[in-house]
Amino acid sequence: MNRKLTDIELSMVCEVIASRMGLYFPVERWIMLRRNLVLAARELGFQNINGFIQWLLSSELNKDQIMILASHLTISETYFWREPQVFTALTDFILPELIKSKKKGEKSIRIWSAGCSTGEEPYSIAIALQKTIQKIEDWNITILATDINPKAISKAVSGIYGTYSFRNSPAWLKSRYFRNKEDRQFEIIPEIKQMVTFTCLSLVEMSAISNASTMDIIFCRNVLMYFTSEWVTKISQNLFKTLSEDGWFVVSSSELSSYVFPQFTPVNFPGAILYRKGKNGSKYSCNIPSDEIPEPLPDIAFFDHRNEMKVVAKEDLQPSSSVAFIDRRDKVKVVAKEEPQPQLKTREDILNENKILIRLLADQGHLEEALSLCDEAIASEKLIPGLYLLRASILQELDKSSEAIASLRKAINIDPDYIMGYFTLGNLFIRQGNNKNAERYFNNVLDLLSRCENDDILPAESEGLSVKYIREIIYANMQTQRTK
């Protein structure tokens, strides 16, 4: 591998990857893409980058070749019981309701973990089922786990994990469901392992999933963000079709958007939002208490201004269109019940939706419109570094590097510890051939990372990358620049 891929070559490679695998690589990820393509070329048997690029751009890749390529292009960053609020919603609300609906018929539950990576998610799902279902041996449980990366699937099948996979997971999970092995390794117990079936599959190959429209729950977290906008639309539509009536669709908090998933009904749970097929999601309150879904009460209880409880029998109320309350003179008042109002969006909700819409517009090539919307968002939220980072990525695609640099500098002025701002500036200066400035900003990143553990996941806009991974990228880039 005697030379570096040019931007023109990378642009053509990105088009091929997008068309054949559905994966999307924005300009800010090209440095990492260059490095990983070299690794893929070596595994595919190429001695020089010229032959690899010519082959990649002109050949029809078979499934095995696509899988090898995918193993170098996708990131396997996950851990057990990730986003615990989602699993609380699963064990406390969704599964009990699902079990109740199934008791009168066939006792079967089918769940799909799409983009399962190294298996922590589907095994967590199996543990949730084991915890929730009494006499689980009487049930026909299917947990299908798929991923495009064969190396990730191989690790998942082994069921053996290091301590890194248990970061942020509850202590009981490892002690109850894993056996200690040598070298701080832990193996999942057979009862859980046998509940999951793993297979290598890309989400662009949805036809390979049999028994369409029978999945009760589909998990697809931190996966769709790696696909082009066209494929996100296709995949979400196909996943919708694959769900049973009233089935549940689970994505990560960073991917929540009714704009992306308009065919689903969003349902609010404590600390989490999930999507449901059909309209039954509307039966859930937008403010479900953390302990239970409220059931109808035989009496309506209130506390008056002296903190004394007053009880009104349901039958004493006016028709169901009215509700009762206690006024300050302890008299029962009956008022017309208004239609439930939609939950007001928080500033954070609006900000996240704007970010998703901006990215979608940029992905679809509407760069000026994306930039305009980003500028509007910044006008409303002037102190959000991530918006300036997003603006810089759009400006880079518009070939406005100077403005992109200015935007990134505003981001780090707002937050002097903003790692992704320094990291992106370093990458931008490398593209310009300004090695001195690139090294300066990369050193800033390394200094900030020195406060973190290798296994820590970087916050905000890092796409789930670990500290160790970012360090490796920086060291590789700096070494490459010094040897030129």
Q: Tell me the mean pLDDT in the region 132-145.
A: 93
Architecture in CATH of 7-73: Orthogonal Bundle (1.10)
Higher-pLDDT residue of 298 and 256 is: 256
So what's the pLDDT on residue 454? Answer: 76
Residues 6 or more apart whose CB falls under 8 angstroms from that of 364 comprise 229
472-483 pLDDT per residue, tens: 888 877 766 665
Higher-pLDDT residue of 391 and 364 is: 391
Closest Cα partner for 150 from 109, 187, 199, 189? Answer: 199
The answer, yes or no, to whether residue 209 has pLDDT greater than 70, is no
So what's the pLDDT on residue 301? Answer: 37
The answer, yes or no, to whether residue 105 has pLDDT greater than 70, is yes
The answer, yes or no, to whether residue 2 has pLDDT greater than 60, is no
CA distance 261 to 246: 15
The answer, yes or no, to whether residue 190 has pLDDT greater than 90, is yes
The answer, yes or no, to whether residue 422 has pLDDT greater than 90, is yes
85-101 pLDDT per residue, tens: 999 999 999 999 999 98
297-314 pLDDT per residue, tens: 333 333 333 333 344 443
So what's the pLDDT on residue 155? Answer: 92
Higher-pLDDT residue of 330 and 398 is: 398
Residues 6 or more apart whose CB falls under 8 angstroms from that of 11 comprise none
Of 1.20.1250.20, 3.40.1010.10, 3.30.70.260, 3.40.50.150, which CATH number belongs to 84-283?
Answer: 3.40.50.150
* Fold assignment, 347-482: 1.25.40
When pLDDT is cut at 50, 70 and 90, the band that residue 125 belongs to is: very high
So what's the pLDDT on residue 481? Answer: 60
Which residues, in sequence order, are bridge partners of residue 110? 142
So what's the pLDDT on residue 236? Answer: 86
So what's the pLDDT on residue 258? Answer: 61
So what's the pLDDT on residue 464? Answer: 60
CA distance 245 to 237: 14
* DSSP string for 423-435: HHHHHHHHHHT-H
So what's the pLDDT on residue 461? Answer: 66
Residues 6 or more apart whose CB falls under 8 angstroms from that of 454 comprise 466, 467, 468, 471
Higher-pLDDT residue of 150 and 337 is: 150
Higher-pLDDT residue of 170 and 333 is: 170
Higher-pLDDT residue of 458 and 325 is: 458
Strongest mean pLDDT among 5-14, 121-130, 257-266 = 121-130
Q: Which of 59-63, 141-145, 275-279, 337-341 has the lowest mean pLDDT?
A: 337-341
So what's the pLDDT on residue 213? Answer: 54
The answer, yes or no, to whether residue 294 has pLDDT greater than 50, is no
Helix (H) or strand (E) holding 449: helix 435-449
So what's the pLDDT on residue 483? Answer: 56
218-252 pLDDT per residue, tens: 999 988 878 888 888 888 888 898 999 899 999 88
Domain coordinates of the chain in residue numbers? 7-73, 84-283, 299-336, 347-482
When pLDDT is cut at 50, 70 and 90, the band that residue 279 belongs to is: low
Six token digits for residue 322? 């009215």
CA distance 275 to 247: 9
Strongest mean pLDDT among 171-180, 290-299, 306-315 = 171-180
So what's the pLDDT on residue 304? Answer: 36
Six token digits for residue 472? 């490796």
Six token digits for residue 288? 């479900």
The runs of H, that is alpha helices, within 346-399 are 347-363, 367-380, 385-397
Q: Tell me the mean pLDDT in the region 448-462.
A: 75
Asked whether the beta carbons of 201 and 147 are under 8 A apart, the reply is yes
Query: What is each CA distance from 54 to 3, 8, 51, 60, 421, in whole angstroms?
Result: 14, 13, 5, 12, 35
The answer, yes or no, to whether residue 72 has pLDDT greater than 60, is yes
So what's the pLDDT on residue 132? Answer: 95
Asked whether the beta carbons of 71 and 149 are under 8 A apart, the reply is yes
For the chain, the average pLDDT equals 80
Q: Tell me the mean pLDDT in the region 205-216.
A: 66
